[in-house]
Amino acid sequence: MDEIRFHRPEGLVISPAFSHAASIPPGATVIHVGGQNAVDATGALVGGDDIAAQVRQVMRNAELALAAAGARISDVVSWSIFFVEGVDLAAAYAAASSFFDPDRDPPLVTGARVAGLAVPGALVEVSAIAAVVR
């Protein structure tokens, strides 16, 4: 095995939005990205109560963190996503979808609704695990 494989086995729900397991080959570089909120480089919250604007900032932050480690969004194997209760998930997904390649197998996704996040006013936070095969 010399590539990352995503698994969506028979007997589990099949979704176009996520896979159930991933196999990472030996020798791949694995990158962990810590929780990203919708803050800019100064630490100011971007987007206010607009979930789509916050998601776009979160994804830009994730892109920057991944790039610093030599990876791209397309290298993400697994996302963990935390939404504040009451957030419009359809709007959040629509805002994030432009960052993903529709022709690629979807990554693993873990999502949770939470009462609040560490950054006051933040509506969403993501962390990621990426793998780069060279």
User: Over the stretch 10-60, which tens digit does the pLDDT of each residue have?
Assistant: 999 998 889 999 999 999 999 999 999 999 999 999 999 999 999 999 999
* Residue that is written with structure tokens 């979704």 in the block: 15
CB atoms within 10 A of CB 130: 27
Query: What confidence score (pLDDT) does residue 1 get?
Result: 64
Cα–Cα distance measured from residue 77 to residue 117, given in angstroms and rounded to the nearest whole number: 24
Residue 5 has pLDDT above 70, yes or no: yes
Confidence of residue 98 (pLDDT cuts 50, 70, 90): confident
Mean pLDDT over residues 75-83, rounded? Answer: 95
* Residue that is written with structure tokens 């996302």 in the block: 79
Task: Specify the DSSP element, H or E, that contains 128.
Answer: strand 124-132
Please tell me whether the overall predicted TM-score, pTM, comes out greater than 0.75 for this model.
yes
Strand 21-23 relative to strand 5-7, pairing: antiparallel
C-beta separation of 17 from 32 below 8 A:
no
CB atoms within 10 A of CB 99: 16
Instruction: Please give the structure tokens belonging to residue 51.
Output: 């979930």
| pLDDT-above-90 percentage for the chain | 84
Cα–Cα distance measured from residue 47 to residue 69, given in angstroms and rounded to the nearest whole number: 26
- Compute the mean pLDDT over every residue in the chain, rounded to the nearest whole number: 94
